Structure 1
């Protein structure tokens, strides 16, 4: 008898991963490759080099910037840092943000584990945190799927502390790894600073999940709007032109602020809408990441 996680994984393997096999053609292996830890040699710094690899002692002695080169591992360790807070439960299935997070997490875990790479996960909510150590294999992906699809706590505990979520990731990902942070980035805490610190040690890919209504609220007349994180409710007239103009300005300001924070952190940042085709979103993500890494 197949379990719910097994049925979900089979559905995604058929609907998403089989289509990805024909689209990526190994591209994800060149975009997301392991970083070795064994020192190999030194060479002069080039403009496209990662400044984190500069050997400052040698640079000072020779008065010329030099970078360390390492033996590259064929395997990598990937971590899925998953925001399961109340704001991520916005939207009806199958186009809710939590549905997109689940599909993203399961597809990424299976995609990397099929190549023999180890995948770990951090599931974060103010009331519950799960840390799943990195392993490989389909059985491990099934366990991750079971945890991701498990019922989450009811709303409570205030706004999500995204900074704490990223600190938890930093404490558990001790070896240099590839980290996928999947969140709507709605919450409190110095998440931008923590994201920057995380990117100093790891390769970080930030995947921001958004619902179309969050970007452009339709005219629904008088509606009761509730903050998913705190439960605060406000009666809003979505047909009021002044209200809609103010809301659009706030959305634009927030989008610009989040984009700027991602750029300062130096992470590969992607925005995925819940009404997007997941295959197209993943292919675009890999292609953009390859361009950034070159």
Structure 2
């Protein structure tokens, strides 16, 4: 099979355009079309529905696309590993981090690693935990640092840091002035939360369900900073990482509420389950993470 044809096919699907893919790959459009046709002949199937009104992958096309992305990732990793073998530790590590980890925990890790291994280039992507897991699964990233659980097939996870989820209440919220708070007082409140796929959102959903709390309204904001600012502005309550709270200087908004228990969670390192897919550079990076954030032995 033509490896260049696979790369071309992935580029066409990612950009949903033969023209844009040709430009990004510095190829002519006829060459791009020829690569796609060669793949379709190889698999004896149509991969892309070329109707004029829409760009659509066939079922076979979806399979070939996913496997092609994985194959490209593995080839790139092989090139990196050969480079590392032939010279001192170097190459590129593609790191993914959830918002909480990427914004508050990752920077000192990057600094320590960069000082120890200056020849290694670092590329960081910050997205929610679900998307980071998917990117590691598809070999678009070498390693992920996420919050929450790993559910994707073919991934291995290892906890590296403990975190605590706390309730934030606006300073002027009426509930702060009550001498006693009943379970009914906790019902029909407005809660500010992160987006679906976020580890923080999963923790809030679990908390609300576990304690049988029925929000009057949910306001979704796609960043930790936005959630904090929403609470400060009096939009509503939130259930947020204490790591975020301490780094943003809003500890005064933490409030212990009856019927809601403080919840512990863990940040985890995510890698492919197959150890052969983990380069020496990534191994050293993981060692740096463990060295800076050692969990207690009773985890």
TM-based fold match above 0.5: no
Q: What's the TM-score once normalised by structure 1's chain length?
A: 0.30
Q: What's the TM-score once normalised by structure 2's chain length?
A: 0.30
- Of structures 1 and 2, the larger Rg is shown by 2
